[in-house]
Structures are given as C-alpha cells and as structure tokens.
A and B are shown apart, each in its own frame.
Chain A
Amino acid sequence: MHLHTARLERLLLAASPEMVEGDSGLLRFAAAQARPLYAQHCAACHGADMHGNPAIGAPNLTDAVWLYGTGTLYDIERTLLYGVRSGQDQSHNEADMPSYGLRGILNEGQIRSVVQYLLQLNGRPYEVQGANEGRALYIGTGNCADCHGPDAKGNNDYGAPDLTRNTWNSGSDPQSLYRAIYFGEHRIMPAWRATLSLEQIRALATYVYAVSHPQ
C-alpha cells in the first residue's frame, strides 16, 4: 500500500498538469492527499466548504471563476507556489484595485452610480439614471475599463475580475460593491513554496482543480 502511494505521488508530480487534469485516478488520489492539507492551510480563509469568505475577500474555489489565469491546474499551482501580492517577485501582483473613494477619484454619489451600472450589467434590479451615469464614469473618470475592459469582462492576466458574472469576492450586495470601489481591493495570499513540498502543492492544486471542474 505504501509503495502504491509512493508511486502515485511520484506520478502525480511527474505528469504534466494537462495529463493530471485528464486522469480521474490521479485526481481522486490527489484529493485524498490534499484534504488534510487543505483543512490545515487553506480552510481558514477559503472556508472548510471551499466557498470562500467575502469578509476577507477570499474567493470561492468551487466555481469556475478565476482571478488569475483560466483555472487550469498549472494556473492554480502557480498561485499556490508564489501567492498573490506575497512580496515575492513571482507572485501575482501586477495590479491593485485603487480606493476610488479614499483617493477622491470618485465621490460617494458617483460610486453609487457605478454600483447601479454593475447591477445592470449583471441583470439585477437597478436605477436607470444612476446606471447611465455609472456607465459614463466606468468608461470615463473612473477609468474602470482600463483594467476590467470596455465590456467589463475583466482580464485574467492581472487579476481584474469579470464584472458581468455576478461573482464577487467581497460580497454581492450593493453596499459591499460600494465598499469595494470606495476602499479598493488589495487582498493577499501567501506563497506556499517555502512551507509545503512540491508534492503537497501539486496535490492541493489538483484538489482545487477537481472541485472546481466536476466531471
């Protein structure tokens, strides 16, 4: 049994991420290996159920929405290795969501209008006048389109979320959206390379991949 486990561990790490993604046996093995690791190292932020925690902006790991990359095993593994804004050069730290309110870029009324526009984009109830003004701010003064794109579909290269999928890391109610714009977002995730072994990181990445890509 021990030899079998060692062989699978070796296989899990030796295989390319793409091969692991297509191997249900390895996916199951990785999940079994990773569960206790997840409970020990990840659950505190992302939750035992992996649904994230809006209070601290920890993303839901079970959906198919990704801040960085497209959710491949390789992408997830990179994030685990080097983290987000962890202070390491290879971590994801290409951009920040500025604090529009604190920095005085938008006033409170303008931020409320942008929130209305976001509600409109996601097919939720919104105020027409506010949404129209918010759209103009989104393209103009706010420069939101620079990162999130003119179509608000985001950019996974530098962690700008898609604003049209109604998936929000820091809460989906209008007040939470308002706070995210007013105060900005500057979340971090530690780099695990120094703490966990490569095998453990691969197992965790595979586990997160498997959970977010149900067969």
Chain B
Amino acid sequence: MASISQVSQPQRRSSVARIATAFLFRPRRSLFLPVSALVVGLVAASIGLFRPAPRVLTAVPPGYAALVNQKGLLISDYRAQVETETGKAFADTSPAERSRILREMINEELLVQRAVVLDLPETTNEVRTNMAIGVNTQVAAPVLAYEPTDAELRAFYDQHRQNYTAPGSMTLQDLVLHIGGYQNADQTVSQAQADATEAVYQLRSGTSVDYVMEHFGFMRSGRAADGEELDFAAKLHLGDKLYQVAMTLHDGEISDPVQDWDGMHILVMQRHEFPKVADFSAVRDRVYLDYRTAAANRATEQNLSQLRRQANILLAPGLSE
C-alpha cells in the first residue's frame, strides 16, 4: 500500500498543479478583465446589501411635535410658539389654537424645505444677506458678553482720538502773485519771491490787503472760499501744500510766501477754529459702543480668516481679490 501511494501521489499532484498553473499562473488575458469585474461587482453588491438603509421614521419620535419630510419640529418650539402667538400659557390654549399654530409651523417648514430645493441661498440676495448676518451674529455673541473696563475704554479712546475729534474750520484769503509764463506775468521766481516777502512784511505791519494786492500785483487765487469752511473742504480747495501752511496759522496771522505751481502765495488767516478732541467723559457712551463694535468686527474677521484657511478658493485667470 505504501508503495502504491508513493507512486500515485506525485501523479495526482502533477495533474492538479497543471490545472492550477493553467488558471492561476498563466491566466488568459481574455478572462482576466471579466473575472476582475465580477469580483468588484460582487464586493459592491455585498456592501450595498449588508449596509443598513437610511432609517425612515414612520412615527413621530419623543420630543417632537411633527415630522415634515423626516425633519422634526420640536415639541418645545411648538409650545413656545403657541404661547407667544396666543399670549397664554400652553395649558390655557384651545385645541383649535394649537391646531392652527401647528399647521402654520408645518407650512413654514415646508416652505423652508422648498427654499432649500430652490437653492434660495444661491439665488436670492435677501436670503444670502440674512444667512451671512446670522453667522456673524452668532460669532459676535460671546465677544459682546464682555463688559470693558474703564481703563480699556480709555485706551481705546486714546488709540482712536481722531474718531472723537470735532472738525476745525477756517476763514482766510489766499493771495497769489503769478510768475512768468503764467497769464502773461513777466516776473522771475526771484523777483516774485522778493515782492512777496515785501508784501508779507507790509501786511504784517498793518497795510490793507487791497493796497498790497494793487501795489504788488497780487490776485485772489480763487482757492479759498468767501466765508468759513471746514478743514476738509479747505484742504480740497487749497491743495496739500497750502493747507499744511494754513493749519499752522492762528487768527490774524499772515503766512510766509509759499511757492506753488501757479505762483507765489500769501495766506491771510482771518479766523481759525482748530480741530478739538472731545473729552473722554463727554464721549464715553460713543467710545463704549465703538469698542463693542470693534470687538464684534474682530471676531467676525477672525471667523472669516478661519473659514478661508479651511476653504478651497480658486480664482479665474486675471482676477484677484
């Protein structure tokens, strides 16, 4: 028996090996793809078969008043809505009132769900705006809970004094002596400088503006308003160079000659009300509101920075933000 088995076993092994070799180690290319596809299909089917299907609720779970397309309306919200709308305790409301309000809530939920289907956040500016505001409000809420101390408010006030500064105003005359090449003037710069220096001397000595204008050939530049104007307006009209000089002049002062693009100028300041920084105690209320607004803005900006870090934003060629 031993000899038979020893002889026949290698023979059996060789036939099995031949078959295995034929299918496993020398696969036909025409079979490989269909077999692979079959395996992948079976795996996919088994995953679908054994994975639990999304649970469809057929009854309203505890804690909810209704299910609208599987979306729950909280009992607590329903009760609050009933009490708000009727102005009565829930127990004191009638079945008709409760039914009406539940119907309204379901209608509203249906409309909200429809709005999502219609993609209103994408298509309606009002919805987009309110969604953005809603997020900012939630982000700012914890920040606004903090009450600043007096010292923090004072520090904020010191850092933003320009926000609590009443604008100044000025009433002045701007005289100009045109220099050669401009409106037929034939003076050189040095001549104009000398005349203007003399004119300034006379004005400071009490000579009238009209006399100086006539004697030296000065004209009104047209850059200064007839009457009083606020600083920002004076800056626009005079230009930066003359404005910087004007801001140094007090009531009744005469400037040195100032050379600008159209000639030699002399500023005669009649009245100058300088900008005034309001006292902290007088604007404390505004500082408080500004402080809180700034804190809320910082919170929303930080939130946006975080969102941007997490976002994948691509810009079309040629565009920048």
**Which residues of A approach B to under 8 Å, CB–CB?**
10-11, 13-14, 74, 77-78, 81, 85-88, 90, 99, 101-104, 183-188, 198-199, 202
Contact = CB atoms under 8 A, between A and B. Distances in A.
Contact of A85 (B63, B79, B144): B144
Interface string B137-161: 1111110111111100100000000
Nearest to A9: B62
Greatest chain A CB density within 10 A among B62, B80, B146, B150 is at B62
Residue among B77, B141, B142 with the highest chain A CB neighbour number at 10 A: B141
Interface stretch (B260-268, B281-289, B308-316): B281-289
Contacts of B142: 188
Given A74-B76, A74-B79, A102 B62 contact: no
Contacts of A199: 63
A187 B77 contact: no
A128 B45 CA distance: 86
B285 A103 contact: yes
Nearest to A86: B141
Contacts of B61: 13
A187 B147 CA distance: 9
Interface string B275-315: 00000010011001000000000000000000000000000
A186 B145 contact: yes
Interface string B86-117: 00000000000000000000000000000000
B contact face: mostly helix, strand, loop, or mixed: helix
Contacts of B146: 186
A11 B63 CA distance: 10
B247 interface: no
29 contacts: A13-B61, A13-B62, A13-B63, A74-B79, A77-B76, A78-B76, A81-B74, A85-B141, A85-B145, A86-B141, A87-B137, A87-B141, A88-B138, A90-B77, A99-B147, A99-B288, A101-B150, A102-B147, A102-B284, A102-B288, A185-B147, A186-B145, A186-B146, A187-B145, A188-B142, A188-B144, A198-B63, A198-B74, A199-B63
Contact of A10 (B62, B79, B140): B62
A209 to B, nearest CB: 14
Contact of A81 (B76, B138, B281, B285): B76
Contacts of A184: 147
A125 to B, nearest CB: 28
Contact of A90 (B80, B144, B285): B80
A164 B144 CA distance: 28
A86 B63 CA distance: 22
Contacts of B150: 101-102
A184 B153 CA distance: 14
Contacts of B79: 74
A104 B139 contact: no
A189 to B, nearest CB: 9
A87 B139 contact: yes
Contact of A78 (B80, B138, B284): B80
A103 B147 contact: no
Contacts of B281: 104
A44 to B, nearest CB: 14
A13 B61 CA distance: 9
Contacts of A13: 61-63
B296 to A, nearest CB: 11
Nearest to B80: A78
A52 B284 CA distance: 32
Nearest to B148: A102
A99 B284 CA distance: 11
A70 to B, nearest CB: 11
Contacts of B138: 86-88
Nearest to A191: B138
A183 B285 contact: no
Contacts of B153: 102
A185 B141 CA distance: 14
Contacts of A102: 147-148, 150, 153, 284-285, 288
Nearest to B60: A14
Contacts of A103: 284-285, 288
B275 to A, nearest CB: 23
